[in-house]
Amino acid sequence: MSIVTVFTALAIAACFCDLAHSAASKPHILFIAADDLGWNDVGFHGSEIHTPNLDKLAMEGVIMNRTYVQPLCSPTRSTFMSSRFPIHTGLQHSVIRPTQPYGLPLNITTIAQHLKSVGYSTHIIGKWHLGFCNAQYTPIERGFDTHFGYYVGAEDYFTHRRADAVPNNSSDPTAFSVHVDGLDFRNNTQVVKNMNGTYSTIAFAMEAQRIVSQHNPDEPLYLYLPFQAVHGPLEAPQRFIDMYSHIKDEKRRTFAGMVTAMDEAIGNITAAFQKRGLWENTLMIFTTDNGGPVTVGANNYPLRGSKATVWEGGTRGSVFVHGNMLEKKGYTNNELVHSVDWYPTLLTAAGLPVTTLDIDGIDMWDTITKGSASKREEFVYNIDTNVPIAAIRYQQWKLIVGETGAHSGWYPQPTVSASLTDNQSLKVENTTTYLFDLDADPTEHFNLVKEKPEIVSMMKKRLEEIMKTYVHDLSTLHPPTAKCNPANFGDAWGPGWC
């Protein structure tokens, strides 16, 4: 063998060694999103609902006490994937209904696409809710190697079917008189027809365990697990509901069972990571997508409001981070973080540069791992010119201008003997402008509009500046259409109609 051949062989070996080291040094990422979970629906916030696995993980890691999300499902999921506020993607008004022909804009590079470009194996298990009318909107085309789950926003947990209303093909697109129904359960692009009767939370946990058990430990893994739980309809295996027979309110009883079923599933998934030898190098994020809907068993006590509102109860998420890469852990972090920040933070964890990206998110790696001060001073709760409503945060100040909508009060902590339906929210003052000092008043009881006119003026000017970047919402541009009818697509919700 010539000396040139020897040097060439050594160089190739060194190259492969560097690649292997680089891959091994990248953390596995387990990103879990619960659906419609309220502030007071987890044990680590003092709830009566049993969440032993979540509580243990939260206590071992960092509880992110001031991490914010959007008021609704699709908008928050868009922030995870795009690192842009919904006012910059057109997803600010509502959720994407199964009957609407649009999705997360296709010019956006998702976090999965970035991670895939540096060697990550990327998987999504669960709810997508970012559009599916064209295959280009679906997870397999947005950077994920596999998808096991469903496209729409909600469905039956056991039959995996969803019904919705579409226009009756008259000249009035708002005349909903035709109901359509279809199956929505996918293994990649194929419709799954043999899981009728399998509770989705259990099905998703089983698939996660399968992926983890077969994963090459030397390859970085990104597992995005947006559970269906605990979104309505209120359904759970009876054994979980029976755990809460002492709870009088039927909705709360079933809801609690759904939360505990999800907690058990998460325990099984983390055990699979440990068994496969991945856990020591896994960064786990747990978050909800919005606050809990108080009309269907959830509770956000002591925060004000509900899902679909810009009050703290609709936007302040139950969040924690777990992993050995945390230099400081076992405490509650009170730094300001927003859901748009996960994207650049996870890219930083994976060794990817983020300074050149056109995003709204801020890299919070040092804040999360070291407890350093947050780089974020401001964020947009939401701006929706259709309602109209606008809410922003600057430092400790929160300004709301417009119609705050239903469920704007305070909903007491549920008790064993009291029904949630007996709890009445306090009377809300008749105003359209609110200013709160959230450091002094996190439950939004004291409107300071009259006391702090200079702060109101400053924040309204900031709203005017932000409105210059406002993108028209896609929901009103793309109304429901009968073209989506699952009857035309093998009795399943799927792409091919836009």
| Chain centroid to CA 275 | 27
Residue 458 to residues 326, 392, 452, 453, 469, Cα–Cα distance (Å): 37, 12, 10, 9, 18
Whole-angstrom CA distances from 85 to 112, 341, 381 are: 18, 10, 9
Rg (CA), the chain: 23
Beta strands per DSSP E along 99-196: 121-127, 146-150, 161-167, 176-183, 186-187, 190-191
Task: State yes or no: is 17 an active-site residue.
Answer: no
Q: Which of these, 271, 241, 269, 272, lies nearest to 255 by C-alpha position? A: 241
Q: Tokens standing for 455?
A: 């702060």
Contacts of 472 (CB under 8 A, 6+ apart): 90
Contact assessment for residue 345 and residue 363, using Cβ atoms and an 8 Å cutoff? yes
Of the candidates 45, 50, 73, 484, the residue annotated as catalytic is: 73
> What φ, ψ does residue 31 adopt, rounded to 5°?
-110, 110
Closest CA to 294 of 441, 406, 428: 406
- Contact assessment for residue 125 and residue 92, using Cβ atoms and an 8 Å cutoff: no
Specify whether 73 is catalytic: yes
Rounded CA-CA distance 73/386 in Å is 18
Listed residue (205, 267, 262, 206) closest to 236, CA to CA: 262
Q: Are 384 and 376 in contact (CB under 8 A)?
A: no
Catalytic residue among 93, 114, 129, 407: 129
- The closest alpha carbon to 289, from 258, 265, 314, 264, belongs to 314
Query: Tokens 């006590």 — which residue?
Result: 301
342 Cβ contact partners less than 8 Å away, ≥ 6 residues apart: 31, 79, 80, 83, 111, 285, 287, 361
Q: Assign 428 to helix, strand or coil.
A: coil
Output DSSP code: residue 378. E
Instruction: Quote the tokens at residue 464.
Output: 């005017």
Catalytic residues: 73, 129
